[in-house]
Amino acid sequence: MDQTEETDAVNRDELIMQQQRQIEKEISDTIPLVSEEQPVDSLNNEYMGDDVYGSKVRDLAAKYRAIRRTRPDGNCFFRAFAYSYLEYLAGHKEDYDAFKELALKSKDKLVALGFPQFTLEDFHDTFMEVIEHVSPGENDKQELHKLFNAQGYSDYVVVYLRLITSGQVQEGADFYQNFIDGNCTIQEFRHQEVEPMYKESDHIHIIALCSALNVGVRVEYMDRGEGGQVKAHDFPEGTDPKVYLLYRPGHYDILYPN
Amino acid sequence: MANMAVSRIKREFKEVIKSEEIVQCSIKIELVNDSWTELRGEIAGPPDTPYEGGKFLLEIKVPETYPFNPPKVRFITKIWHPNISSVTGAICLDILKDNWAAAMTLRTVLLSLQALLAAAEPDDPQDAVVASQYKHNYSLFLMTARHWTNAYAGGPSRFADCDQKIQRLKDMGIDEHKARAVLSMENWDLEKATESLFS
């Protein structure tokens, strides 16, 4: 490769990044970070005349009263989880107090695991501020919705949950190593798949976050598979779920059970 | 959103100037304008590398979406390194692209760049010519990198042979940097360098 080709390669890199930003901007201009509640059968609009999905949407609508959509930006699992759990906590004083305590302590634990104190504090403070805003009693549902649609707050919450998840993977390295494909080390996995924004979540992220925060999550899987019904999976298995999510390949939304 | 980037940078700036590395003069950071969107970084070449003794300037641009997207960083000081373009100063480093995380800071970036100078990754090159020299003619790579550190970053090692060859090309009317770049690319073969310049 001579020098002119190399300069071209540099520009191509730049162009790819620019185009990525452009696509992200288009998505962010048209889709809110978290939508209002919508009827479950609004999903049908996306699957006109598709029998497989049609019957699964009917099945889902029989179990859930509403869906709340999240922006497909790779952070959807973390954002959906946080919104849904905080919404639950706003109505459950005891769980709220326990979670606040756990959240308060989480910072020192992450510092001990080697995260940079300076940025950690930044995200932790914002995280605590958001928790403070949804304390039961105040119970202003609009407040949570407003915070989660303010990019700054919303993304800071996502970052902090990513750090908690990464810390959990580090702590349980022996266990999580079994779920990591190929030659990726735990460190590489944390730095490449968990900590960076916009990286999509997999089972391992869900399991780690649920165990770190001690929260049960039920995910309803909806894909092109046979059977005509959505498939529920609880994380960790056998727990009583507080958060309900819909998974369609590549994306998570929030569900509200009947 | 933009305000978030600025307030974060202001705090990071304080963090860097309080840090140990500043005290040891190994990294430095300065404001370029009042908007906090463009900064000037400086790293010292790490000991026991061909960059030892050199000071390398960096252009740092902070995007509006910082810290969720990485800062844009480029070497201003010319450098001979497999993962840095000898032409544009563009850097190939994962944390400046896909593996950036919002918990990282300018300090992390500067220290990672210093680490990159100490441990090149020739299999993931930014500058294919330098990478090839690194892999196939390591001793020549070391000399070239030291020579560039001397010429552009104030490093201590002079190589009379390099200087003479550059002088020969200068005598033919070639600009000094152009002469150095072509000779470096041609493994300091004066004949080949001349050929590539005049053919």
Q: What is the pLDDT of residue A179?
A: 87
A31-257 domain in CATH 1.20.1300.20?
A: yes
Give chain B positions within 8 Å (CB) of A119: 67, 102-105
More confident residue, A141 or B121: B121
Chain B contact for A115, CB < 8 A? yes
Chain A contact for B118, CB < 8 A? no
Q: What is the pLDDT of residue A3?
A: 47
Tell me the two tokens of residue B154. 């104030």
In angstroms, how far is CA A210 from the centroid of its own chain? 11
Burial A3-40 (b: 16+ CB within 10 A, else e): beebeebbeeeeeeeeeeeeebeeeeeeeebbbeeeeb
For residue B125, the 8-state DSSP code is -
Give chain A positions within 8 Å (CB) of B100: 196-197
Per-residue pLDDT reduced to its tens digit, B63-74: 988 999 999 999
With the C-alpha atoms ordered A159, A164, A169, A170, is the resulting torsion angle positive or negative? positive
Cβ <8 Å between A155 and B102: yes
More confident residue, A49 or A149: A149
Active site residues of A: 73, 76, 251
Find the length of chain A: 258
In chain A, the largest separation of any two C-alpha atoms, in whole Å, equals 67
Per-residue pLDDT reduced to its tens digit, A177-234: 988 887 889 999 999 999 999 999 999 999 999 999 999 999 999 998 888 899 999 9
Q: Give the one of B101, B105, B185 whose C-beta lies nearest to A196's C-beta.
A: B101
Per-residue pLDDT reduced to its tens digit, A1-54: 444 444 555 567 778 878 888 888 888 788 899 999 999 999 999 998 888 999
The CA distance from A24 to A34, in Å, is 16
CA angle B68, A107, A238 (to 5 degrees): 95
Distance from CA of B39 to the nearest CA of A (A): 19
**Where does the pLDDT of residue B1 fall: very low under 50, low under 70, confident under 90, or very high at 90 and above?**
very low
Q: What is the pLDDT of residue B18?
A: 79
* Bond before B67 cis per omega within 30 degrees: yes
Chain A contact for B83, CB < 8 A? no
What residue in B sits closest to A4 (Cα-Cα)? B87
Distance from CA of A193 to the nearest CA of B (A): 8
Distance from CA of B6 to the nearest CA of A (A): 13
Which residues of chain B from 17 to 56 reach within 8 Å of chain A, CB to CB? none
Find the length of chain B: 199
The CA distance from A225 to A216, in Å, is 25
In the block, residue with structure tokens 């930003």: A21
Cβ <8 Å between B15 and A152: no
Kindly state the helix (H) or strand (E) to which residue A67 belongs, with its residue range: strand A64-70
Q: What is the pLDDT of residue A139?
A: 60
Chain A contact for B93, CB < 8 A? no
**CA proximity to A128, closest of A106, A113, A145, A112:** A106
Amino acid symbol at B85: S
> Model's pTM, two decimal places?
0.85
What is the mean predicted confidence (pLDDT) over B132-153? Answer: 97
Q: Which residues, at least 6 apart from A161, have a Cβ–Cβ distance to it below 8 Å? A: A78, A81, A82, A209
What is the mean predicted confidence (pLDDT) over B8-22? Answer: 80
Size of interface A-B (CB pairs under 8 A): 71
**CA proximity to A191, closest of B84, B104, B74, B71:** B104
The CA distance from A172 to A168, in Å, is 6
**Where does the pLDDT of residue A69 fall: very low under 50, low under 70, confident under 90, or very high at 90 and above?**
very high
Whether ipTM exceeds 0.90: no
More confident residue, B10 or B141: B141
Active site residues of B: 92
Using an 8 Å Cβ cutoff, are A186 and A194 in contact?
no
In the block, residue with structure tokens 């009827």: A39
Domain B2-118, CATH homologous superfamily name and number: Ubiquitin Conjugating Enzyme (3.10.110.10)
Amino acid symbol at A31: I
Chain B contact for A183, CB < 8 A? no
The CA distance from B9 to B5, in Å, is 6
The CA distance from A204 to B98, in Å, is 20
Chain A contact for B136, CB < 8 A? no
The three-state DSSP-derived secondary structure of B51-84 is CCCCEEEEEEECCCCCCCCCCEEEECCCCCECCE
Q: How far is CA A137 from CA A46, A103, A140, B194, in A?
A: 38, 19, 8, 81
Domain ranges of chain B: 2-118, 128-198
Taking each helix axis from N to C end, the angle separating B106-118 and B2-18, rounded to the nearest 10 degrees, works out to 60
Cβ <8 Å between A119 and B102: yes
